[in-house]
């Protein structure tokens, strides 16, 4: 497995890492088998989150006795000082460790959320935990590349995590600038949330970007670990067949896949359109029914609130039938 530098953190990480969302749907013995396959395949970067129900706890139990072989990354949506401090403590207990290499502000969706993180003391709590040696480095994740393009100039964070794959490449300018600033770049949704079936091809595309530090496909079987890890030592030059298959994937997904570019926003009714489609993906492609329904249920404005004005469709650079897609989201969660 090749390794890459995670920016100014100084950490060397496997260029294919492990995304901890899908293990919510398997049992602890299976997670143990998966993580031992990661160890065998030298997949050393593990990413999870406080919001992934049992993911932290199962990872912590699975790697006990092998803790020093892994770089742990987790995250929280906490914004206040008290909530952030509490969540860091819970993560340490769940992961059965005295320190976490990377702690990230999770799913910072807009400027308001970012301002809350800074003004309510969440970021200060992260700095405090870093000074105390509880966390090693501080990162941020978001699905909004325009927001991250502004945030990275503040110099507060050492890493960013953002979607990137064969059909979602709106983050390339962001990655270039983050790289110039010495930041580590973590690629989430490398298979577009399970929408891309050819995992090796999408990983090859991602790893051809020299600014990327690590890609973290979600995996819930040792077989998936084996297949994805192989790309960490495979030849990355494109074949003619690769180029042809890439175009096929883009054509197939072009009519119905939201790239979360955000150009459809703001919606006059207040719908967070990209996040609504993201929740549907968790429901249908990740198979996380209860988790997705809980998160969707907590959203104040849902797909059913669409009045079909069509403004979003006039802005979409991919000509997606957003109104019809929102109807399907509404139907999916009924």
Q: How far apart are CA 9 and CA 139, in angstroms?
A: 10
Is residue 144 predicted with pLDDT exceeding 80?
A: yes
pTM of the complete model: 0.91
Tens digits of per-residue pLDDT, 5-61?
999 999 999 999 999 999 999 999 999 999 999 999 999 999 999 999 999 999 999
Give the pLDDT mean for 197-207: 95
Q: What integer pLDDT is reported at residue 268 of this predicted model?
A: 97
Which band of pLDDT confidence, cut at 50, 70 and 90, is reported for residue 176? very high
Are residues 82 and 123 in contact, defined by beta-carbon separation less than 8 angstroms?
A: no
CA dihedral 71, 108, 50, 259 (to 10 degrees): -80
**From 75-79, 192-196, 329-333, the region with the lowest mean pLDDT:** 192-196
Q: How far apart are CA 6 and CA 213, in angstroms?
A: 5
Is residue 306 predicted with pLDDT exceeding 80?
A: yes
Q: How far apart are CA 119 and CA 314, in angstroms?
A: 36
DSSP assignments along 188-223, one per residue? E-TTTTTT-S-HHHHHHHHHT-TT--EE--B--SHH
Phi and psi of 218, rounded to 5°? -75, 135
Tens digits of per-residue pLDDT, 65-74?
999 999 999 9
Inter-residue long-range contacts of 81-84, CB under 8 Å, 24+ positions, other chains counted? 81/120, 81/121, 81/122, 81/124, 81/125, 82/121, 82/125, 83/122, 84/121, 84/122, 84/123, 84/125, 84/126
The CB density around residue 27, as the number of other CB atoms within 10 Å, is: 10
Nearest to 62 by CA among 97, 90, 87: 97
Tens digits of per-residue pLDDT, 86-95?
999 999 999 9
Give the pLDDT mean for 173-191: 97
Is residue 252 predicted with pLDDT exceeding 90?
A: no
Phi and psi of 285, rounded to 5°? -95, -35
Report the topology of domain 3-239. Answer: TIM Barrel (3.20.20)
Query: Which residues are within 8 A (CB) of 327 and not within 5 positions of it... i.e. 6 or more apart?
Result: 303, 306
Is residue 254 predicted with pLDDT exceeding 90?
A: no
Give the pLDDT mean for 169-186: 97
Every domain of the chain and the residues it spans: 3-239, 273-332
Q: What integer pLDDT is reported at residue 156 of this predicted model?
A: 98
**From 122-126, 213-217, 246-250, the region with the lowest mean pLDDT:** 246-250
**141 DSSP β-pair partners:** 161
Q: What integer pLDDT is reported at residue 318 of this predicted model?
A: 87
Tens digits of per-residue pLDDT, 256-300?
899 888 889 999 999 999 999 999 999 998 889 999 999 999 999
Tens digits of per-residue pLDDT, 114-139?
999 999 999 999 999 999 999 999 99
């Amino acid at each position: 497995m090749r390794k890459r530098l995670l920016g100014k953190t100084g950490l060397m990480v496997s260029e294919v890492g492990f995304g901890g969302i899908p293990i919510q749907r398997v049992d602890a013995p299976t997670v143990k088998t998966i993580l031992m396959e990661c160890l065998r395949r030298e997949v050393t970067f593990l990413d999870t989150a406080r919001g992934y129900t049992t993911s932290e706890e199962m990872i912590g139990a699975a790697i006990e006795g092998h803790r020093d072989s892994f770089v742990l990354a987790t995250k929280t949506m906490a914004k206040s000082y008290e909530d952030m401090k509490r969540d860091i403590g819970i993560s340490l207990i769940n992961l059965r460790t005295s320190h976490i290499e990377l702690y990230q502000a999770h799913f910072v969706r807009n400027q308001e959320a970012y301002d809350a993180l800074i003004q309510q003391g969440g970021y200060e709590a992260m700095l405090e935990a870093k000074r105390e040696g509880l966390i090693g480095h501080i990162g941020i994740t978001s699905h909004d590349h325009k927001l991250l393009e502004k945030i990275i100039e503040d110099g507060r964070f050492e890493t960013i995590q953002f979607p990137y794959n064969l059909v979602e490449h709106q983050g390339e300018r962001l990655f270039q600038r983050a790289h110039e600033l010495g930041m580590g770049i973590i690629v989430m949704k490398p298979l577009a949330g399970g929408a891309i079936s050819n995992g090796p091809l999408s990983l090859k595309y991602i790893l051809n970007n020299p600014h990327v530090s690590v890609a973290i496909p979600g995996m819930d079987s040792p077989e998936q670990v084996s297949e994805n890890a192989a790309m960490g030592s495979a030849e990355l030059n494109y074949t003619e067949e690769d180029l042809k298959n890439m175009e096929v994937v883009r054509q197939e997904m072009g009519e119905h896949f939201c790239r979360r570019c955000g150009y459809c926003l703001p919606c006059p009714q207040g719908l967070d359109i990209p996040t609504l489609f993201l929740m549907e993906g968790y429901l249908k492609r990740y198979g996380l029914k209860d988790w997705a329904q809980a998160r969707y249920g907590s959203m104040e404005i849902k797909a059913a609130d669409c009045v079909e004005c069509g403004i979003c469709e006039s802005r979409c650079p991919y000509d997606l039938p957003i109104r019809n897609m929102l109807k399907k989201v509404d139907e999916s969660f009924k």
